[in-house]
Structure 1
Amino acid sequence: MPRSARFRAFLTTILTTAAVLGAAPSSSTAATTAPAAAGCDAAAAGYTTALQINLPTSASWLNTTPPYTVNNTAAIGSNFDRVGYCLELNGPQGVQWVWTAMAPFTSDARRLGLQTSTGQIFRQQVGDLEVASNVAGVTTGTGQTGYVEMWPNRYDKVASGQVPNASESTYDADDSPTTVLGHGSFQIHQIGATKPSSVPAKPVLSINRFSESTSNVLALGIGANTSGAPDWTLTDNAATYTQRKLTVYARPSLVKLTDMPQDLKLIPRDSQNGANPAVAGEVTAAGVDQVELRVTGHGETQTFTAPASAPFRFTPRIEAGLWDYTFELRATGPGIDRVVARRTGIVSGDVYVVQGQSNAQAAKYAGAANVEESRYLRSFGSATVESSLSGPDRVWHYATGDITKQPGSAGQWAIRMGRRIVDTYGVPVALFNGAHGGKPASFFQRNDTTPNDLTTNYGRLRSRLQASGVLSKVKGVFWYQGESESDNAAVHISGTTSLLADWRTEMTTAKYFVYQVRTSPCQNTTTINLREAQRKLGPSHGVTLLSTTSLSGHDGCHYAYADGYREMGDQTFAVVARELYDGPSAGVAPPNPASVTQSGNTLTVKLRSTDPLTVEAGVRADFRLVGSTVTVSSVAYEAGGSLKLTLSGTPTGATALVYQGHLKSGPAITNATGTGLLAFSLAIS
């Protein structure tokens, strides 16, 4: 661009900014300025240059600040309401450029550039994406949805499931940073706004490999690469360009926001089936007369206004249901009409927490549960054990069922249960899964001195609940743990008791559900002490028991989706529906014995419910007597709530009857919902 043209573009930017801000200049007005790249001139009008860098062919900027030729981030601070990027390349295809702008994903201007320091990770959806480019294949226009992947880490192809139509087998719009530092990703993508979506996921701009070694060449490009990884990973092509310029922009704010829901946020519903989320702040620029909030959803638009002369606070009413809301805040005045913030996908609904070992994680062992995913199933943050990855993730996501240790991971049975609530009661659901496989109850305990300690499992889950604003409004908590204790009932009950006590001081409104594990340890159903102790938790600890003995998709430790986690989700839903949604009660509770009495060669197991049961052939082999070699010959259900066991002889010396359930697939005793009889050990009287 000729020097005179650059000056005119620069002058236009400054004058436009001054006109918007009026007589009160922002802190960025006096900052160092730089001309916009040629193709971005018009789009960048009204923005301030935050950063600019001529990218080298190779770089090793891990834990160092890149050598920006312009750096106004200190002057800008948090005074911006929109961010823009311009990448200009000159290479084999001639001059290429792309402009993209979006709602900010950070309030700190220092975090707008290349992420080069440990813990600097942005991996999230961004709204109101605008794109302009001279590169074929880049979808131009406004009002799009974007996704950013920015970090100094290495990364792999594992998809989080947050980006519709992304691949699990190539580097693209949905990759996963690892804990190993030293490669780097600075990518912005165009994606579909909801899941599912027909919109293909594709890159807008990519700059990779800037935090590894000067012996490695940067990989960068505009749009999608057509001859390798779509996001240009490992193309090592920087040397093919004679110009590689990145300019970062920030649009000066008119309003300072102190409160506004995030995109995709679920707000716990109140007793009146809705919520009143706050939108609050104050006008910071002269020339603005008023602010206006428009809340659109459920077939209507609510409008609220406030004068610019004082701080404002709006509390619109949103209703819980299968619809979402868009919040749009505008600043207006003479010559000013700007959308200063826009949030989409906001819902009101119920919150559930899942905690425990690998059967609480409920990974995809055999069969997929992704058919259960819904735009009305949400989650927040990441369940990964690595605090350097989970700590930076403080945004809302869609809940996923098959993927673990990723943003939004909920687990297979939880996603099934949540979907049943959504479909049956028309209520959106947020699922927070904090589970970690193979760990004893002690692993899940709270650090009382520092409850949000991210080096602890409790702290990682608690910090997600607190940051999302739902900690005190959780509706239900599910605990599936005990395999790791290897039938040590005392250790398990002590840990569970402590955990329940801590939870109840923080998740004060929650109902608590405890699963009786299938095995302890895995591959062993003959042990009964821990499971009998779990069975007694109902009356002693005020929890609702859930059973696993009827799930035939059992592999000895975990479950397939069909006949396993799917049915676990259905059975859990039935109990939750009864407890929390006034759902049906008949045939819902796990069959639970109250006593065992002997008469000759017959034992009668009196049940706590009169729900009819189905006794499957062969189940007699899963009963045994303690203190006697007599065996069970047959089992039959008797109306009124009893099981009649016929023995092979008189049980002389027998002190207790044990029902241990079946290892892997096998017969069970079930109620109308298919829920199995709880394993037990009861004295014979």
Structure 2
Amino acid sequence: MSALKIINVLLFILLINAPVFAQIQYFKDADGIRLYPQSHQLYPRDKTDKATVTIKGDVGTYTIDQIELVVYKHFLDGSVSQSTYSQTTTNSFHFEPILDAGMYLYSFKLFLKRNHRTFLTQNIASNVVCGDVYIITGQSNAMGIINNVPSEGIYQDSLYQEYPAEGSNKIYSKSLGNMPKYNGVNGNLTNYNAANNYWTPATASGDFVGFVGLWGLKLQYAIQEKYQMPTCFINGAYGGSTIGEHQLGFGNNSDPYNLETLFGSLNYRVQQANLKGKIKGIIWYQGESQNTYNRATTYQDSLHFLIDTWETHLGDFSKVYVIQIHTGCNYHGFGQVVREHQRSIQRPVNSSSEIVPITACGIGERASAIYDSFYSCHFARTAYNQLADRLFQTIGRDFYHQNTCITSPNIIQAYYAYNELVLEFDQNLAALPEGIETQFEFYKNSQLLPNVSILKAYAEDNKIYFSIDTQTPDAVSYLLVDDPVYNHEMIWLENPAGYAAFSFHQVPIEHLPCTEHFCSIQSNRISNQNPLQIHLKSCTTQNKVSLYTLQGQLVFQKDFPFLNIKTSLDLSHLAQGLYFLNIESDGQFLETKKIIKY
């Protein structure tokens, strides 16, 4: 073959395989949403664990009579399957292939044909996945940075976060666009670039493109590893922001797509990703900046209004994970008010979403002052990892059929019973740590009572029992005093798994009506060396215990003018044998217990 013929053949091959994107037109809908996949795009799975990909366009000036779409499905083991879709057409085309949710990477390729021969191929997109979508937003701890200047903090994420090695696993976690940058023009918070509307692997380093935050990326990888589910996280957080600054209408701007507002830039990214109505949940970590009386006391109302607006513009989502801020950063006197709002907030019954509270109390050490001038507000790598784990537990329960879920203890009610103050929680507690009494404060008519002493404290199952020197308090708080520097000086109330309890503030103490009597003995086998141990709780002080022989002879009797007493009875004068212990209260017989002396 001559050199000229070889050159012509090579040119023909190049022409056939060249990705001439300019002449094939891919369509967008009326809202500017792409009707074709982008590389690294995530398509949200439906209830059947599938997603439909729309690919519409025309071939421009090309003369064709057939067009084929080949979808390649790449598996973790390196194998590849393909599905071919064909249409007879001279110009426009419309394909709707189906993707399976899971650890698969999809790529798309068009084949233009004339007279049954392919004359042009074009790669449309690669590394496309099908999975789940979550939003993260709030202020700097939602970003998980180590400095309030993100461009400095996120470059040092290797000090804080361990990531998988570069490779295929990384590209299953996705994001779209970039986080809002600081210092927008004309006094606006941000100035989002509309051109930043492309998909990318999620990251926690470098610039803002694809940035989902330190604990955000950790959470993505955890979902991917255990549940084999790709995810897209879009992070719209902004350091130091208030709830008001996240609202639609901030700065008197009611345009929901205004790119100079936090609401508009987040809404724009969700729209460009075609994710409206397809979001699983929103993770909200904000509250440190609610540092005035009005901001703190109106927290629930403000957050409800923001969630209402999200539901209107982002579409329905089922969960809002509200993270209760930790003690320390919000040390201006209103932190406990904010934390109580976050602990107790519930959505109206007619809302499409449910609020799930998660606390950051006790998650670990603060950031290092060497790297972070706001170290009293931010956390070290291990603490952000623990926050990711707490979210992972709850999200696994809510969306991935995880049967076991570790959550933080949350108080249900406080009440007086049998001369004790009882704090009842939603789960069992670990043994009380030494000094935990110092973390509680008591109130009367909304005024702090400075001199209430806890004489005795113990935990049984899901309840804490306090004996206090007065019954005048009508409310109780836990973790009232913010620690402005370090968490590890705090004493945490925990469950057996080591998860710290929610902070709570001025929970009302009720006086429940007494409806039952209680009597227990440590053992019914006693001796001179092992006396009878008895615990009696009663609604009256008119209590009596009596001991009878098998023949009915009364051999011991004692009055107990107490509502709640633990004591031992000296029965050394009795002979060995079988006895019956009768308990009476207010003249009424309660129960009989068998006692054996040996």
TM-score for the superposition, normalised by structure 2: 0.68
2:423 paired residue number: 605
Matched letter for residue 383 of structure 1: M
Residues 80-159 of structure 1 correspond to what in structure 2 (within 5 A)? Answer: none
1:494 aligns with 2:301: yes
| Contact kept? 2:66, 2:114, Cα under 8 Å | yes
Structure 2 vs 1, CA of residues 252 and 315 (structure 1 numbering), >3 Å: closer, same or farther? closer
| Contact kept? 2:50, 2:98, Cα under 8 Å | yes
1:654 aligns with 2:489: no
Structure 2 vs 1, CA of residues 322 and 255 (structure 1 numbering), >3 Å: closer, same or farther? same
Matched letter for residue 44 of structure 2: P
1:358 aligns with 2:140: yes
2:200 paired residue number: 397
Structure 2 vs 1, CA of residues 399 and 256 (structure 1 numbering), >3 Å: closer, same or farther? closer
Q: Give the aligned CA root-mean-square deviation in angstroms.
A: 3.2
- In 2: Cα distance, 1:325 partner to 1:631 partner: 65
Q: Deviations over 1:406-449 (max 9, x none)?
A: 01111122222222111111100111110111111100001374
**Deviation of 1:330 (Å):** 1.3
1:513 paired residue number: 321
**Deviation of 1:459 (Å):** 0.3
- In 2: Cα distance, 1:293 partner to 1:342 partner: 10
Please say which of residues 411-420 and 352-361 is displaced more in the overlay.
Answer: 411-420
- How many residue pairs are counted as aligned between the two chains? 444
- In 2: Cα distance, 1:396 partner to 1:519 partner: 37
Q: Secondary structure of the residue that 1:484 maps to in structure 2? A: coil
**Given the alignment, which residue of 576, 582, 592 partners 2:395?**
576
Q: Deviations over 1:92-148 (max 9, x none)?
A: xxxxxxxxxxx6xxxxxxxxxxxxxxxxxxxxxxxxxxxxxxxxxxxxxxxxxxxxx
| Contact kept? 2:174, 2:231, Cα under 8 Å | yes
- In 2: Cα distance, 1:466 partner to 1:496 partner: 22
- In 2: Cα distance, 1:384 partner to 1:43 partner: 47
Q: Deviations over 1:160-182 (max 9, x none)?
A: xxxxxxxxxxxxxxxxxxxxxxx
**Deviation of 1:537 (Å):** 0.4
| Contact kept? 1:483, 1:519, Cα under 8 Å | no
Structure 2 residue ranges without an equivalent (≥5): 29-34, 148-156, 185-189, 367-374, 444-448, 511-598
Q: Secondary structure of the residue that 2:103 maps to in structure 1? A: coil
2:491 paired residue number: 667
1:283 aligns with 2:283: no
- In 2: Cα distance, 1:585 partner to 1:425 partner: 14
- In 2: Cα distance, 1:427 partner to 1:498 partner: 32
**Deviation of 1:651 (Å):** 2.7
| Contact kept? 1:296, 1:302, Cα under 8 Å | yes
Residues 228-239 of structure 1 correspond to what in structure 2 (within 5 A)? Answer: none
**Deviation of 1:589 (Å):** 3.1
| Contact kept? 1:382, 1:393, Cα under 8 Å | yes
1:419 aligns with 2:215: no
1:619 aligns with 2:436: yes
Structure 2 vs 1, CA of residues 638 and 525 (structure 1 numbering), >3 Å: closer, same or farther? farther
- In 1: Cα distance, 2:195 partner to 2:25 partner: 26
1:547 aligns with 2:359: yes
- In 1: Cα distance, 2:433 partner to 2:193 partner: 46
1:459 paired residue number: 264
**Deviation of 1:342 (Å):** 2.7
| Contact kept? 2:243, 2:303, Cα under 8 Å | yes
**Deviation of 1:287 (Å):** 3.2
**Deviation of 1:327 (Å):** 0.6
- In 2: Cα distance, 1:459 partner to 1:44 partner: 47
**Given the alignment, which residue of 318, 339, 343 partners 2:125?**
343
2:593 paired residue number: none
1:35 paired residue number: none
1:450 paired residue number: 255
Q: Secondary structure of the residue that 1:414 maps to in structure 2? A: helix
Please say which of residues 507-516 and 250-259 is displaced more in the overlay.
Answer: 250-259
Q: Deviations over 1:576-624 (max 9, x none)?
A: 11112221245x33311122123587421011x2344454443332212
Residues 231-270 of structure 1 correspond to what in structure 2 (within 5 A)? Answer: 253=23, 259-270=35-46
Structure 2 vs 1, CA of residues 381 and 418 (structure 1 numbering), >3 Å: closer, same or farther? same
**Given the alignment, which residue of 382, 385, 395 partners 1:566?**
385
| Contact kept? 1:269, 1:275, Cα under 8 Å | yes
Matched letter for residue 445 of structure 1: Q
1:638 aligns with 2:460: yes
Residues 178-189 of structure 1 correspond to what in structure 2 (within 5 A)? Answer: none
2:106 paired residue number: 325
| Contact kept? 2:137, 2:285, Cα under 8 Å | yes
| Contact kept? 2:43, 2:131, Cα under 8 Å | yes
Structure 2 vs 1, CA of residues 675 and 487 (structure 1 numbering), >3 Å: closer, same or farther? farther
TM-score for the superposition, normalised by structure 1: 0.60
| Contact kept? 1:256, 1:284, Cα under 8 Å | no
- In 2: Cα distance, 1:375 partner to 1:352 partner: 17
- In 1: Cα distance, 2:336 partner to 2:438 partner: 15
| Contact kept? 1:515, 1:548, Cα under 8 Å | yes
| Contact kept? 1:487, 1:527, Cα under 8 Å | no
Whose radius of gyration is greater, 1 or 2? 2
1:591 aligns with 2:361: no
1:433 aligns with 2:235: yes
| Contact kept? 2:15, 2:120, Cα under 8 Å | no
**Deviation of 1:527 (Å):** 4.3
- In 2: Cα distance, 1:560 partner to 1:357 partner: 17
Matched letter for residue 160 of structure 2: A
**Deviation of 1:671 (Å):** 2.8
**Deviation of 1:547 (Å):** 0.8
- In 1: Cα distance, 2:347 partner to 2:106 partner: 42
1:368 paired residue number: 160
Structure 2 vs 1, CA of residues 381 and 634 (structure 1 numbering), >3 Å: closer, same or farther? farther
Q: Secondary structure of the residue that 2:119 maps to in structure 1? A: strand
Please say which of residues 445-454 and 352-361 is displaced more in the overlay.
Answer: 445-454
Structure 2 vs 1, CA of residues 677 and 342 (structure 1 numbering), >3 Å: closer, same or farther? same
Q: Deviations over 1:523-559 (max 9, x none)?
A: 4688422221222203668411111112122353111
Structure 2 vs 1, CA of residues 565 and 646 (structure 1 numbering), >3 Å: closer, same or farther? farther
Structure 2 vs 1, CA of residues 420 and 412 (structure 1 numbering), >3 Å: closer, same or farther? same
1:676 aligns with 2:500: yes
Structure 2 vs 1, CA of residues 308 and 484 (structure 1 numbering), >3 Å: closer, same or farther? same
- In 1: Cα distance, 2:310 partner to 2:247 partner: 10
Q: Deviations over 1:439-490 (max 9, x none)?
A: 1110000137410111110000110010011122010101111111126333
1:485 paired residue number: 290
- In 2: Cα distance, 1:596 partner to 1:256 partner: 63
| Contact kept? 1:289, 1:332, Cα under 8 Å | yes
1:536 paired residue number: 344
1:473 aligns with 2:278: yes
| Contact kept? 1:598, 1:604, Cα under 8 Å | yes
Matched letter for residue 324 of structure 2: Q
**Given the alignment, which residue of 327, 330, 334 partners 1:522?**
330
- In 1: Cα distance, 2:97 partner to 2:441 partner: 62
- In 2: Cα distance, 1:625 partner to 1:578 partner: 35
Matched letter for residue 593 of structure 1: I
Q: Secondary structure of the residue that 1:538 maps to in structure 2? A: coil
Q: Deviations over 1:56-93 (max 9, x none)?
A: xxxxxxxxxxxxxxxxxxxxxxxxx97xxxxxxxxxxx
The runs of at least 4 consecutive aligned structure 1 residues that moved more than 6 Å come to: 41-45
| Contact kept? 2:409, 2:494, Cα under 8 Å | yes
